[in-house]
């Protein structure tokens, strides 16, 4: 916050401005055509404390990554809302299908399956389209080198990035998330931190020197990791 002390985070927020910004961000045509009013970007940039964090995050998603990402996020938010409304009907249909299978009721299985397909079809009909994505293959043995090359070549691309590990079949959002988790774990290795001067060391340096492959090969700090100051 630019004004106010700790504990008064909402003191400077304007509910009226936040509501007006949220209304503009719900107009898919406006941000897809890059036709948002100038104040929607100028005011939050100059006076961020006047808007809620949620609204500023929404503005970031709608303007920072291109119209395709903005429309994709807008679509997924709408689909998630519609899916939550249909959750009770979907669970009921799943329960009917499970009971029909237990009772070996062919007609019941058919009706329950049709109900589930109908719900999924209505959800799918809310989609505008899929965002373009790039699939990259990386090696677990060279995770940091591959990650550095991947970020270098893909940084200027507007496509969604998906990752697949070499000689493994799985791919998708779960595997991509696991890739980022593997990179974050690798960056916590003490030898990596010493080589690249990344983090402030903890109190287990001597234990690591005694056993480099022991339990202290990763930096451990109860208060979190903090980057080393620039020399």
pLDDT, tens digit (0-9, with 9 covering 90-100), for 101-133: 888 888 888 888 888 888 888 877 777 767 778
- Which position has the higher pLDDT, 6 or 27? 27
**Can you tell me the mean pLDDT for 42-55?**
93
Based on C-alpha coordinates, what's the Rg of the chain? 25
Average pLDDT, the chain: 85
Determine which of 50-64, 169-183, 198-212 has the lowest per-residue pLDDT on average: 198-212
Checking if the pLDDT of 6 tops 70, the result is no
C-alpha 216/C-alpha 219 separation (Å) is: 7
C-alpha 23/C-alpha 9 separation (Å) is: 23
Tally the residues of the chain: 231
How many other CB atoms sit within 10 Å of the CB of residue 193?
20
**Can you tell me the mean pLDDT for 177-193?**
92
Give pTM, 2 decimals.
0.62
The confidence band for 214, taking pLDDT boundaries of 50, 70 and 90, is confident
The confidence band for 1, taking pLDDT boundaries of 50, 70 and 90, is very low
Percentage of the chain with pLDDT > 90?
30
Checking if the pLDDT of 55 tops 70, the result is yes
Phi, psi of 131 (to 5 degrees): -80, 145
Checking if the pLDDT of 225 tops 50, the result is yes
């Amino acid at each position: 916050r630019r004004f106010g002390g700790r504990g008064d985070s909402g003191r400077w927020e304007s509910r009226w401005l936040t509501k007006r910004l949220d209304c503009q961000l719900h107009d898919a045509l406006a941000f897809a055509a890059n036709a948002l009013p100038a104040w929607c970007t100028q005011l939050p940039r100059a006076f961020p404390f006047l808007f809620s964090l949620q609204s500023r995050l929404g503005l970031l998603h709608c303007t920072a990554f291109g119209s395709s990402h903005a429309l994709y996020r807008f679509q997924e938010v709408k689909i998630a809302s519609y899916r939550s409304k249909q959750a009770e009907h979907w669970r009921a249909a799943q329960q009917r299908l499970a009971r029909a299978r237990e009772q070996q009721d062919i007609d019941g299985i058919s009706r329950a399956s049709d109900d589930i397909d109908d719900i999924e079809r209505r959800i799918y009909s809310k989609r505008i389209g899929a965002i373009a994505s790039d699939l990259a293959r990386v090696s677990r043995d060279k995770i940091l080198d591959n990650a550095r090359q991947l970020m270098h070549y893909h940084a200027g691309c507007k496509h969604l990035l998906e990752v697949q590990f070499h000689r493994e079949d799985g791919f998708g959002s779960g595997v991509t998330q696991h890739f980022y988790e593997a990179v974050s774990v690798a960056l916590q290795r003490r030898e990596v931190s010493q080589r690249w001067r990344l983090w402030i060391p903890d109190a287990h340096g001597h234990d690591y020197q005694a056993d480099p492959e022991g339990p202290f090969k990763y930096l451990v700090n109860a208060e979190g990791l903090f980057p080393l100051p620039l020399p």
